[in-house]
Amino acid sequence: MRRIYLITYDVCDPKRLRHTFRCLRNWGDHLQYSVFECQLTDTDLLRCKAELAEIIHHKEDQVLVIDLGPAASRREDLVEAIGQPYSAMAAPCLVI
Protein backbone atom coordinates (compact mmCIF):
# COMPACT_ATOMS: atom_id res chain seq x y z
CA MET A 1 0.00 0.00 0.00
CA ARG A 2 1.38 3.35 -0.95
CA ARG A 3 0.76 6.31 1.28
CA ILE A 4 1.16 9.95 0.48
CA TYR A 5 3.79 11.79 2.44
CA LEU A 6 4.63 15.44 2.40
CA ILE A 7 8.32 15.73 3.13
CA THR A 8 9.68 19.14 3.97
CA TYR A 9 13.15 20.09 5.04
CA ASP A 10 15.11 22.90 6.55
CA VAL A 11 18.80 22.40 5.95
CA CYS A 12 21.37 25.02 6.96
CA ASP A 13 24.32 24.12 4.80
CA PRO A 14 24.14 24.57 0.98
CA LYS A 15 25.96 21.31 0.28
CA ARG A 16 23.69 19.27 2.49
CA LEU A 17 20.71 21.13 1.09
CA ARG A 18 21.67 20.09 -2.42
CA HIS A 19 22.18 16.50 -1.31
CA THR A 20 18.81 16.49 0.43
CA PHE A 21 17.14 17.79 -2.71
CA ARG A 22 18.86 15.23 -4.91
CA CYS A 23 17.92 12.43 -2.55
CA LEU A 24 14.26 13.39 -2.38
CA ARG A 25 14.06 13.84 -6.13
CA ASN A 26 14.45 10.06 -6.36
CA TRP A 27 11.43 9.56 -4.16
CA GLY A 28 8.82 12.11 -5.06
CA ASP A 29 7.60 15.18 -6.86
CA HIS A 30 9.13 18.54 -6.09
CA LEU A 31 6.17 20.72 -5.21
CA GLN A 32 7.80 23.87 -3.91
CA TYR A 33 11.13 24.94 -2.45
CA SER A 34 11.93 22.40 0.28
CA VAL A 35 8.65 20.53 -0.19
CA PHE A 36 8.22 17.16 -1.83
CA GLU A 37 5.14 15.04 -2.26
CA CYS A 38 6.05 11.37 -2.21
CA GLN A 39 3.94 8.27 -2.65
CA LEU A 40 5.80 5.63 -0.75
CA THR A 41 5.34 2.06 0.40
CA ASP A 42 6.47 1.27 3.92
CA THR A 43 9.78 -0.07 2.60
CA ASP A 44 10.29 3.01 0.45
CA LEU A 45 9.74 5.24 3.46
CA LEU A 46 12.23 3.21 5.47
CA ARG A 47 14.89 3.55 2.79
CA CYS A 48 14.14 7.20 2.18
CA LYS A 49 14.43 8.05 5.86
CA ALA A 50 17.67 6.11 6.15
CA GLU A 51 19.14 8.03 3.22
CA LEU A 52 18.08 11.37 4.66
CA ALA A 53 19.46 10.46 8.09
CA GLU A 54 22.83 9.95 6.43
CA ILE A 55 22.76 13.32 4.73
CA ILE A 56 21.53 15.82 7.26
CA HIS A 57 23.19 17.20 10.37
CA HIS A 58 21.12 15.92 13.23
CA LYS A 59 21.71 18.94 15.42
CA GLU A 60 21.28 21.70 12.86
CA ASP A 61 18.88 20.46 10.21
CA GLN A 62 15.35 19.17 10.23
CA VAL A 63 13.26 17.03 7.94
CA LEU A 64 9.54 16.63 8.53
CA VAL A 65 7.61 13.67 7.21
CA ILE A 66 3.89 14.33 7.14
CA ASP A 67 1.59 11.41 6.47
CA LEU A 68 -1.37 12.35 4.28
CA GLY A 69 -3.02 8.92 4.22
CA PRO A 70 -3.30 6.07 1.73
CA ALA A 71 -2.73 6.93 -1.91
CA ALA A 72 -5.49 4.61 -3.11
CA SER A 73 -8.26 6.43 -1.24
CA ARG A 74 -6.94 9.89 -1.91
CA ARG A 75 -9.59 12.59 -1.56
CA GLU A 76 -10.09 15.01 -4.40
CA ASP A 77 -9.63 17.97 -2.11
CA LEU A 78 -6.58 16.64 -0.29
CA VAL A 79 -4.44 19.43 -1.66
CA GLU A 80 -5.91 22.76 -2.60
CA ALA A 81 -3.89 25.30 -4.52
CA ILE A 82 -4.19 29.05 -4.48
CA GLY A 83 -2.43 30.63 -7.41
CA GLN A 84 -0.44 28.23 -9.56
CA PRO A 85 -2.46 25.09 -10.30
CA TYR A 86 -1.74 21.78 -8.63
CA SER A 87 -2.43 18.42 -10.26
CA ALA A 88 -2.04 14.88 -9.01
CA MET A 89 -1.66 12.11 -11.56
CA ALA A 90 -2.66 8.49 -11.23
CA ALA A 91 -2.53 5.88 -13.98
CA PRO A 92 -2.06 2.12 -14.15
CA CYS A 93 1.08 2.66 -16.21
CA LEU A 94 3.17 5.41 -17.61
CA VAL A 95 3.08 5.96 -21.33
CA ILE A 96 5.21 8.63 -22.86
Work out how close the CB of 93 gets to another protein at its nearest, in angstroms, rounded to a whole number.
4
Work out how close the CB of 57 gets to another protein at its nearest, in angstroms, rounded to a whole number.
4
Does position 74 bind another protein by CB under 8 A?
A: no
Work out how close the CB of 48 gets to another protein at its nearest, in angstroms, rounded to a whole number.
9
Does position 92 bind another protein by CB under 8 A?
A: yes
Cβ-proximal residues to 21 (8 Å cutoff; 6+ apart), any chain:
30
Give the up-direction half-sphere exposure of residue 48: CA atoms within 13 A in the CB hemisphere. 24
d(CA 82, CA 64): 23
Print the binding letters for residues 40-69 with another protein: x by CB under 8 A, - otherwise: -xxxx-xx--x--xxxxxxx----------
Does position 89 bind another protein by CB under 8 A?
A: no
Which of the 8 DSSP states describes residue 11? -
Under a CB-based contact definition with an 8 Å cutoff, are residues 16 and 8 in contact?
A: no
Contact positions vs another protein (CB under 8 A): 1-2, 22, 25-28, 41-44, 46-47, 50, 53-59, 91-96
